[in-house]
Amino acid sequence: TPILVLSGVNLGRLGKREPAVYGRATYADLVAEVEKTAAELGVAVACRQTDDEATMIGWLHEAADTGAAVILNPGAWTHYSYALRDAAAALAGPLIEVHLSQVAAREPFRHVSVIGPVATGTITGLGIQGYLLALRALATMGGPGVV
């Protein structure tokens, strides 16, 4: 079972979207970096992005069934989607929440994550490096859900 690297709403617009906040790298660049690091670490990954909350929840259900480890950037859903949180709470394997920007330094509504309390760990503010560090952590931790 590959590690699922899931990016939520608006993250397909990386590079074009608020580059001063999120940087110039595109979503395709993010995927390329994640795949390169996964190959170096000898782990399998599947990268997916959607703007549709139901699709994202379906992927979390899939991970709950397969036991896959998940790296998740939920975008704005982070701050209010109890549905996503409930799906994340039902995962069998580890869940690492990632944010490109330093959410704690931004608007107050971004200071709350409804996902954080059900995540194994959270990495914020380190841009695409955060995804790569999350992969490295999972590869080091090993165990079920990390192949």
Q: Which residues are annotated as a binding site for substrate?
A: 73, 79, 86, 100-101, 110
Give residues with Cβ within 8 angstroms of 78, minimum separation 6.
8, 97, 99, 103, 110, 113, 114, 115
For position 110 contacting ligand DQA by CB under 6 A, the verdict is yes
Nearest-10 Cα torsion for 64, 22, 116, 106? -160
Task: Give the one residue of 38, 57, 96, 103 binding ligand DQA; rule: CB under 6 A.
Answer: 103
Q: Which is nearer to ligand DQA, 23 or 67 (CB)?
A: 23
Selected range binding ligand DQA among 27-35, 41-49, 58-66, 75-83, rule: CB under 6 A: 75-83
Q: What type of residue is 85?
A: R
Q: Is 61 a catalytic residue?
A: no
d(Cα 88, Cα 95) in Å, to the nearest integer? Answer: 8
Q: Is 22 a catalytic residue?
A: yes
For position 78 contacting ligand DQA by CB under 6 A, the verdict is yes
Angle subtended by helix axes 82-89 and 53-66, to nearest 10 = 10
Catalytic residues: 22, 99
Binding site residues, ligand DQA, CB under 6 A: 10, 73, 75-76, 78, 99-101, 103, 110
